[in-house]
């Protein structure tokens, strides 16, 4: 979409624009940005090339549109926005073209616009960059979902590897009602004794990393309790 604008760009005499328009929207970002002032020079049909950014009247809405030419044929031309994923659904007629954008005024800067081959190359570089960033963003989202899902169901937590289980410590808590044995990895409880002290109940997230054969039975822990830390238990590496 465009709105009339006052000239703010000094152009050579042979490039006096026929129109000055404000650009509104994001379809050509970052080539054209919202409220850029566009300097539009008249152009003949034979001088329109792929890669040119032209202003034309939409055959559907009747609005002025500034998009890049990506294909030409005898009757019309196909256009697309640099920030769009697909060409415009409606093709533009040659007689609907108002002109080609040569310069734009952005703040205090006068910026030349790439047209022709340079413009087409710029367009494809922007599209490729957008796809790469989109793929990277999608990959990051999928990885985040995967981490959230498998953190609850994986046998080994994602933030720890088997090699990091250097040692497991066993503590006996002599509560008044009944003693309770617990296994610690660092500050994290990874297992505890059953109520009858016949075996260890190890958290499923850690069981694959701990060697059950290296852990003394809960009864051994109970019988050897002397009020201090029990022997360190080696984990399977």
pTM here?
0.52
Please tell me the distance from the alpha carbon of residue 187 to that of residue 235, in angstroms, as a whole number.
16
Statement to judge: residues 208 and 96 lie in one domain: no
Statement to judge: residues 19 and 121 lie in one domain: yes
Q: What's the CATH code of the domain at 36?
A: 2.10.109.10
Structure confidence by residue, pLDDT tens digits, 40-91 = 999 999 999 999 999 998 888 888 899 999 999 888 899 999 988 888 888 8
Domain carrying residue 208: 162-234
pLDDT at residue 28, as a whole number: 92
Partners of 68 in the β-ladder: 53, 80
pLDDT at residue 148, as a whole number: 62
Residue 64 inside a domain? The answer is yes
pLDDT at residue 66, as a whole number: 92
Statement to judge: residues 119 and 33 lie in one domain: yes
Residues of the chain with confidence (pLDDT) below 70: 1-18, 145-167, 174-176, 209, 211-214, 216, 224-237
pLDDT at residue 32, as a whole number: 93
Pick the last residue of a domain from 130, 154, 188: 130
CB neighbours of residue 139 within 10 Å: 10
Residue 140 inside a domain? The answer is no
Q: How many residues does the chain have?
A: 237
Residue 26 inside a domain? The answer is yes
Number of structural domains (the chain) is: 2
Please tell me the distance from the alpha carbon of residue 76 to that of residue 90, in angstroms, as a whole number.
10
Statement to judge: residues 207 and 122 lie in one domain: no
Statement to judge: residues 34 and 95 lie in one domain: yes
pLDDT at residue 139, as a whole number: 72
Statement to judge: residues 39 and 88 lie in one domain: yes
Residue 143 inside a domain? The answer is no
The tokens of 51 are what? 């890669």
Residue 112 inside a domain? The answer is yes
Statement to judge: residues 91 and 167 lie in one domain: no
Pick the last residue of a domain from 79, 110, 130: 130
Residue with tokens 């599209």: 127
**Largest Cα–Cα distance in the chain?**
101
pLDDT at residue 234, as a whole number: 34
Statement to judge: residues 94 and 168 lie in one domain: no
Partners of 233 in the β-ladder: 168
Residue 149 inside a domain? The answer is no
Statement to judge: residues 55 and 109 lie in one domain: yes
Indicate the SS3 state at residue 185: strand
Statement to judge: residues 10 and 125 lie in one domain: yes
DSSP 8-state class, residue 29:
T
Statement to judge: residues 169 and 81 lie in one domain: no
Statement to judge: residues 101 and 188 lie in one domain: no
Residue 199 inside a domain? The answer is yes
pLDDT at residue 80, as a whole number: 92
């Amino acid at each position: 979409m465009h709105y009339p604008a006052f000239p703010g760009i000094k152009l050579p005499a042979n490039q006096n624009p026929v129109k000055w328009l404000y650009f509104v929207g994001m379809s050509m970002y970052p080539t054209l940005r919202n409220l850029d002032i566009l300097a539009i020079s008249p152009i003949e049909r034979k001088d329109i090339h792929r890669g040119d950014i032209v202003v034309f009247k939409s055959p559907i809405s009747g609005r002025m549109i500034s998009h890049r030419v990506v294909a030409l044929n005898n009757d019309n031309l196909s256009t697309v926005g640099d920030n769009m994923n697909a060409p415009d659904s409606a093709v533009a007629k040659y007689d609907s073209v108002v002109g080609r954008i040569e310069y734009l005024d952005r703040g205090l800067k006068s910026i030349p616009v790439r047209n022709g081959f340079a413009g087409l190359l710029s367009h494809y570089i922007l599209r490729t960059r957008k796809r790469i960033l989109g793929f990277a963003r999608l990959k990051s989202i999928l990885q985040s979902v995967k981490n959230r899902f498998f953190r609850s169901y994986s046998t080994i937590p994602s933030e720890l590897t088997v090699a990091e289980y250097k040692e497991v410590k066993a503590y006996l808590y002599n509560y008044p009602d009944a003693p309770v044995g617990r296994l610690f990895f660092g500050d994290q409880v990874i297992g505890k004794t059953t109520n009858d002290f016949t075996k260890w109940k190890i958290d499923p997230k850690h069981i694959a990393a701990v060697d059950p054969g290296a852990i003394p039975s809960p009864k051994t822990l109970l019988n050897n309790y002397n009020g201090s830390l029990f022997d360190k238990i080696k984990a399977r590496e």
